[in-house]
Amino acid sequence: MTFRRREMVEKLKLNGIADSRVLAAFLKVERHRFFDRESQEYAYEDRAYPIGYGQTISQPYTVACMTSLLVERSPAGKVLEIGTGSGYQAAILDALGYRVYTVERISALYEKAEMLFSILELSITCRSGDGTLGWPEEAPFNGIMVTAGAPHCPDSLLGQLALDGSLVVPIGEHGLQKMTVFQRKKDRFEKEVFNDFAFVPLIGREGWN
């Protein structure tokens, strides 16, 4: 698996992922540990893979792209992830040295991820709930990452960003979104829009019904 993980990282480099910290995290985290045993042969392919309940583990390039956007703007501190899923993205953030908080609305996925974090001895704090509302008790966050497609950026998440903090979220219609970054300044939010991606929908009070 180590050889295949190195191959995956080389492919990320060819696709334009250049941040050395991000690439090191992808080398460190064993992606196959976030797959069921019978599916581990697919762990290092550059594609999304179903994990049940209508959810997927995003393809490595997508995870690397979102992570790079966050690291470039908010390289350290406390990070909130919306949509724990398999737990892989949270593990990448943990490997980068962030203090990671993650919210998952599907209780079965939350329980599975929490158990895996414990087995892997990762210092990740997670809970089950409506991720579109964030985690106000732990705010503010230096970074927020939304791993599902939103119709717009949830106001609750913007309100939980620290000064100069960054929020990475795919925004658009079902099936196609633009990766979007908001950065909080003293009296405004700066917005950047990047490439097209396709995510499962962000469900919740401030997302899709």
Please give the positions annotated as active site: 58
CB 77 within 8 A of CB 142: yes
Smallest CA-to-CA distance from 98 within 207, 22, 39 is with: 22
**Tokens at residue 170, please?**
């795919």
Q: In this structure, is the dihedral angle defined by the CA atoms of residues 42, 44, 45 and 48, taken in order, positive or negative?
A: positive
Strands of 176-184's sheet, edge to edge? 124-128, 99-104, 78-82, 141-146, 161-173, 176-184, 189-197
Other beta carbons less than 10 A from residue 121's beta carbon: 6
